[in-house]
Amino acid sequence: MSNTRRGLPIFSEHGSFEKIFPKLIPAQLSRIAARGHIRGVKDGEVLYEQGHSAPPFFVVISGELEVVQPSTPVETLVTVYEPGHFTGEVGTLTGRRSLFRVRVTKRGKVIELDRQQMLALIQTDAELGEILMRAFTSWYWKRILLVVRLVQVQESKTTWELLSWST
C-alpha cells in the first residue's frame, strides 16, 4: 500500500480523508461481521452501480475497492478503499440512489450488510453508529462539492441529474 492517496484531491485536502473514510480496527470489524456475511470478491467485480437504490454496505477486510464516477466521457476515480475502510453515504441510510460505481480492483474479502442490517448496527452499537454517521454525513457535504466540480467541468444532462440526486 502506498501513502499517496488516489482519487480526487477534494478528499485529501486538509486531512479530511480520515474523517470521511475512517479505518476500522479489528474489534470493530468483528462486530460488523457478526451482523452481515463475509464474502470473496474478484478483480473487476462491480459491487454496485451508479443509480442503485439503497446499495449494500461493504467493509473491506482484504483487497481494494475503487469508487468511480462513470457518467463523464472518461471515468473519474473518486477514491480507493483499502482494508478497514467501508462504503456508504447518506443515501445508504435513506435508501436514495448511489452517485457512484464501486468496483473491486484487488481481489480479497469484504463484509456485506444490506441496508436493514446496517441500520440495526447503527442503532445498537453506539461506537460504530457514531463512526458511520460521522463518515456518512461528512461524505454528503463532500459529495455536493464533488458534483459542483463535475458540473463546472462538464455541463451535461447526466451531471445535472447527479446534482439533483445530491440534494
Backbone angles phi, psi at 66, to 5 degrees: -125, 145
Q: H helices of the chain, where?
A: 16-20, 26-33, 90-94, 115-124, 126-153, 157-165
pLDDT in tens, 128-138: 999 998 888 77
Assign 3 to helix, strand or coil: coil
SS3 45: coil
List C-alpha distances in Å: 101 to 3, 51, 142, 146, 148: 24, 8, 17, 15, 18
Q: What is the pLDDT of residue 1?
A: 43
4 found inside a domain = no
Q: How confident is the model at residue 3 (pLDDT cuts 50, 70, 90)?
A: very low
Domain assignment of residue 1, yes or no: no
Number of domains in the chain: 1
For 52-111, what is each residue's pLDDT tens digit? 888 899 999 999 999 988 876 778 888 899 999 999 876 778 888 888 899 999 999 999
Give me the domain span that covers residue 108: 9-165
CATH classification at residue 70: 2.60.120.10
Say which residue, 119 or 160, is predicted with more confidence: 119
Q: pLDDT tens-digit profile of 32-68?
A: 999 999 999 999 999 999 888 888 999 999 999 999 8
Is residue 30 helix, strand or coil? helix
pTM of the model: 0.76
For the packed helices 26-33 and 126-153, what is the interaxial angle rounded to 10 degrees?
90
The grid coordinates of residue 146 equal 464533488
Residue 3 falls within a domain, yes or no?
A: no
From residue 86, how far is each of 56, 59, 110, 149 by CA, in Å? 11, 4, 9, 24
Does the residue 21 lie in any domain? Answer: yes
Instruction: Indicate whether 144 pLDDT > 90.
Output: no
